[in-house]
Structure 1
Amino acid sequence: MQSGDVVSAKAAFEALTEKVPNYSGPWTNLGIISAEQRDYVKAEAYFNEALRCQSNNTIAMNWLGYLRAVRKDYSSAEKWYLRAIAIDPRYAEAHLNIAMLYEANMRRPKDALEHYRIYQSHTNGESTLVAAWIRNLEESSNYVASNAELSK
């Protein structure tokens, strides 16, 4: 899968699901492959199967959040991301995804800022792009706060 040979990877994961149907990993990887190929219906079925095998599979939850966001079901997407975060508060990708959801789709910049900051803290601030998003949100919130003070 990492080498880019999706066809072989998919065949290997399908074979694994037949040999060890109660292992969550192969189902999760099939879901990721299907989501990346934009076969969202199949991806959701695979992720649900992964959760049947392991109810605390945060990777499957994170991807289910993504699939809900693609469908513009933002409330459900938020629930999946928060569920993953509740199980693993250090799961950086779920923090990043919920931050983007809050900022771009739910108009919740303060919540987005919080999760962007958490993401950066869990990734040692490696993303210059996320750092720019944080700075942008901080500047816009400072602008809003200073204008609110002026209008009093």
Structure 2
Amino acid sequence: MKFVKITVAVLCAAILAACSQKMQIPLAGQKVDLKDTQVFLPQQAYDEQGKALAYEAKTNPYLEIKSKIDKGSVLLFIEAKKAIRKNDFATAKQKLGVITQKDTSISGPWVLLGNIAMEEKQLKKAQEYYQKAIKITPDNVNAYIALAKAQRLMGEFHVAQNTLALVLSIWKDCPEAHLNLGVLYDLYLNQPKKAQQHIEAYLFLDGYKNKQAIAWYNEIQSRTGIEKSFIDPKQGVNPSSLMSSVEG
């Protein structure tokens, strides 16, 4: 019986270690290989009659987190956001600092501190703040996306790609993560085919509403020469024709 308990404990520890390793956040300066992100592309499904089924996008897990927040912290957070809109970063940092000392269970203030650091061109400090936010709330997708932007601006393109891949492992239908991957692949990693995949995913998940992204998709497609859809296996026409009709 004792042996069984020990074995279970060891297995649990191994599983937790594996999960921790899987969710490890890449850091600027690390040498990392690019992650496979094609596995996160949404796929259009069809019924037995060949009729397209409505795609049910996964919801953002961060929005499903329910926690009780002190009213004083809420008021300070609102005041900090107002100060940020006025570019009064000193006031915002003071109020956010009070929250982080008073309530260590919420990640939002750390994200805002990271955003302020970004505005002040303190990229390493921004990275630290976003990492603190993620440590508190591992499903805070906004923190990951902001972290990836900071890493990209630091010239850490592979690391930023890894961070965005991590976002999609948490929420595979995150439109903004797909869009940011498109930016990375096209403008920084010289991989237009992958950029096309993720821009199409972004447009699909966003309902083809962004005209600039539509134009960008068409421009990338003119370079790759790939007219098939990466999302709809039955898409026989040029996907850009559908987007052009929406644009009009």
TM-score bracket for the superposition, by shorter chain length:
0.7 to 0.9
Q: Distance in 2 between matches of 1:24 and 1:65?
A: 17
Note the alpha carbon deviations across 1:38-76, whole angstroms, 9 max, x for none.
Answer: 111211111111111112222111122112211211111
> Over aligned residue pairs, what C-alpha RMSD do you find?
1.7
Matching residue within 223, 226, 240 for 1:140: 223
Give the greater-gyration-radius structure (CA).
2
Unpaired runs of at least 5, structure 2: 1-80, 227-248
Find the counterpart in structure 2 of residue 150 from structure 1.
Answer: none
Give the count of matched residue pairs.
Answer: 143
Q: Distance in 2 between matches of 1:31 and 1:51?
A: 12
**Alpha carbons 2:127, 2:151 under 8 Å: kept:** no
Q: Distance in 1 between matches of 2:169 and 2:178?
A: 11
- Are residue 99 (structure 1) and residue 182 (structure 2) matched? yes
Greater relative contact order (Cα < 8 A, sep 6+): 2
Please state how far the C-alpha of 1:10 moved relative to its aligned partner: 3.0
> TM (normalized to structure 2)?
0.54
Find the counterpart in structure 1 of residue 211 from structure 2.
Answer: 128
Note the alpha carbon deviations across 1:95-133, whole angstroms, 9 max, x for none.
Answer: 111110000111111110111111112222221111011
Q: Distance in 1 between matches of 2:181 and 2:151?
A: 12
Q: Distance in 2 between matches of 1:91 and 1:5?
A: 29
- Are residue 37 (structure 1) and residue 120 (structure 2) matched? yes
Percent pairwise identity: 24
> TM (normalized to structure 1)?
0.85
Secondary structure of the 1:89 match is: coil
Letter paired with 2:192: P
**Alpha carbons 2:100, 2:110 under 8 Å: kept:** yes
